[in-house]
Each structure stands twice: as C-alpha cells, then as structure tokens.
Amino acid sequence: MDRECFLVYDSYRFSGRDFMVLACFGAEDRRLLYIRFFDESDRSLVGKVYVARVEKHIAGIGVFLVTPDSHVFVREKDSRAVVYIKRQSQKKELSQGDLVLVQIERDAIKSKEPLGGFVITIKTPYFLLKRPGEGISFSKRLSASDRERLSTIRHADGALLLRTAAGEADPVWLKQAIGEAGETLDGILADGANHTGPALVWQDNDLLNRLMSAFPFARNHLFVSRIISSDKSVCDRLGEISRLYQDQGLGLLDLYRIRTITDDLLKKEVWLRSGANIVIEQTEALTVIDVNSAKAGRSDAFSINMEAAREIMTQIRLRNISGIIITDFMKMDSDQQRSSVMSVMRQMGQMDFARVTVEGFTRLGLLEMTREKLFASVNQTLTGRINYDTISSVDAQ
C-alpha cells in the first residue's frame, strides 16, 4: 500500500554557492525520509539524450562513449537495444567510432563516469514511454479495474509503462500526453539522425518530471501528494500539485528545520540518546563508522549497538552514503547479539530507496555492508570533497 509523502523544494545558499534543496517528508509524522541538493551552477545530466561516439566495447563489462559534455559508461546488460546513427561495421555490434543515441541515467559519482542507457525514455509521473520497445505494461500497484480501463489506450511505437498515478488521471488527457511523448521521441530520433558527431539532442525541461524522478519513490511505495515552495515561479511551473508557502515570519527551510538538519549531516559525529555516539569517516574508497560509549554511562554494549544500528541506517540514507560501509560496533558477547544487530539493519535497509546489502561480521568483528550508488552524497554535493573537514555552521542564509 502506498504511503503519502510531500516534497519541500526551495533555494538554498551554502558557502557562496546557490543550490536547490529537495526534501521528502512522510505526510503523517513529517519525518524526513530523503534529502538532496542540486548545484545550480552545475546542472545534472540525467535525462539528457546525446549522439555519442563509441570509444571501446569490452565484452562482459560494457561500452565506453564520449559526448560533448562528458564520458559515459553503459553496462553490458543495458547495451542490447541500440539506436545507431552511424555504424563502422554492419556485422560487428558497437564498434569503435560508431555513433549511437544514449540517455544519461545517473550523474557522475566520485570518480565514476555518468551512467547511460541506449533505450530512450520519456518519463512523466503518469507513464514511461521507451524506444526501442513495444507493448503496454502496468504498475503492480494499479488496481485490476484501472488496468482494464487503461488497457484500451493505444500508443505510438514504443514500450509504454503506465504508473500508479495513471489510475487517477483523466483518460482523454492521458492519451493526449502519451501521444505528445511519442511525438517527442520521433523528434529525438529524427534530430539524432542529422548529426555527424557527438551532440546534445534533447533535454527534459519539465520541472515536475525532474522532481518526481529525483528519488525512486516507487521502491518505497511512496505517493507524492504535494510539492511546497516559497518561489511563485516554481509553483507556476509545477502546476496543481504545488503549494505556495507565503509566511513572511518563518521561512520554509526554517519551518522544516532543513538548515539545522543539513548542518548535522555535514558533521562526522552523531550523538545518540543514550549518550553514546557514532563517528562517520567518508573516504574515496569506503566509509568507516565507529560506535563509542562516550557519555553512555551504565548502558551495556549490546543496547548501545542496537541504538547505533538504527541511527547508522538513518544517517547513510539521509547523507546518501554509498559503496562499501564498514562499522566497528562495540564488542558483543554472542552470535545472537550480532545477529540481532544485523536483523535491525536489514529491516531498516528495506525502507531505503537505494539497495542495501548487509553482508555480515568479519573475523575481526567489523560489520560489512554495501549501498547502491545512485547520486552524490550530501557532503560531496555541498562541499565538493569526499573527506570531511570540520564544519562549524552552515551558511544557508
């Protein structure tokens, strides 16, 4: 069953640079679920379609390409359906020098190139239309009656996926929107065919699509009911789903404590209610987390570890820490206690929008886990650094 959430989208200034902050809150308890910052001076490439030149194709690994803006990597499993602009060989697939269409799926993270795909997709909150592809499919959360009603929709060439929100949309409007998306895809393919070298072909300037694609809401069965902003021009672009915040006495970011939260997310040390703390060291290769009793007094190691396990899972989700994560818990007396800690972390990992895998304890008693890389961490986006420096306050005036 979908849970209702809302988004706060507003301008944010940090260390002399302008960002837009997007925060997702649960509708019932107003608990922060996710937060993300967009650097206004360094626009995201996600969703852009390029004519790209193949640099090399490594079997079993993937394809390396170059565009006017960056190098791009496409995984081998995503390289089966290709729209060629120019081929060097009619027999050999993806030869060096081939010109192909590629769409950016993920921005560069740390030292990794942007991740792309050869299937070109028009994304909206109501549907996805892809080429190459064919047929119609439905979100698993659409009711049987909605599926039957929407199955009569006919669409142009391509694979159509109707999302959960399509069940609430007017069928006439939905059919028109799908038709317009088909025309957009026609234009992308036609424009791409006119280029003789790497070039930007298309970018989605629809702000609503951008925000609704910022987090994989569907993974967590989240339904976005409204987007709040204090910027009237933003609300005008978002349409009916937007809510304009106009209280002059209390700023929107202050109302939802976003400045305070961000300040805390940039600190290495996180204090727990028991008086214990965790220290988070984020580096290029991995993230190391240390659990300390600190001021916990008479609290036993196991109860501190259980409290720390819950906070660690919250912190890596909000900070968007990815890759390898190693945690040094306080020494535990039994395998049952270690199993209980892992169970809590795996349960909370299911609430994350990124895939989390808790591997287990090593012979040295360190807990190993990994978290899927989807986009840059809060620390890297705001500071441009992997390693932490001491940050006393956040310049978000």
| 355 φψ region: left (φ > 0), alpha (ψ -120 to 50), beta (else) | beta
The answer, yes or no, to whether residue 396 has pLDDT greater than 60, is no
Model confidence over 96-117: pLDDT tens digits?
A: 999 999 999 888 876 788 999 9
pLDDT per position as a tens digit, 244-268: 999 989 999 999 999 999 999 999 9
Q: Which of 152-166, 296-310, 346-360 has the lowest mean pLDDT?
A: 152-166
pLDDT score of 25:
96
What percentage of the chain reaches a pLDDT higher than 90? Answer: 58
| pLDDT tens digits along 304-313 | 999 999 999 9
Q: Which pLDDT score is estimated for 108?
A: 82
Rounded CA-CA distance 263/392 in Å is 8
Residue 328 main-chain phi, psi, to 5 deg: -100, 95
The answer to whether the beta carbons of residues 341 and 306 sit under 8 Å apart is: yes
pLDDT tens by residue, 233-242 = 999 999 889 9
Beta carbons within 10 angstroms of residue 272's beta carbon = 19
Q: Residue 12: name the closest of 374, 237, 241, 261 by CA.
A: 261
317, 31 Cβ separation under 8 angstroms: no
pLDDT at 41: 67
Max distance between CA atoms of the chain, in angstroms, equals 73
Write out pLDDT tens, residues 164-223: 778 877 888 888 889 999 999 999 999 999 999 999 999 888 888 888 888 888 777 788
Give the DSSP letter of residue 112: B
pLDDT of 390 above 50: no
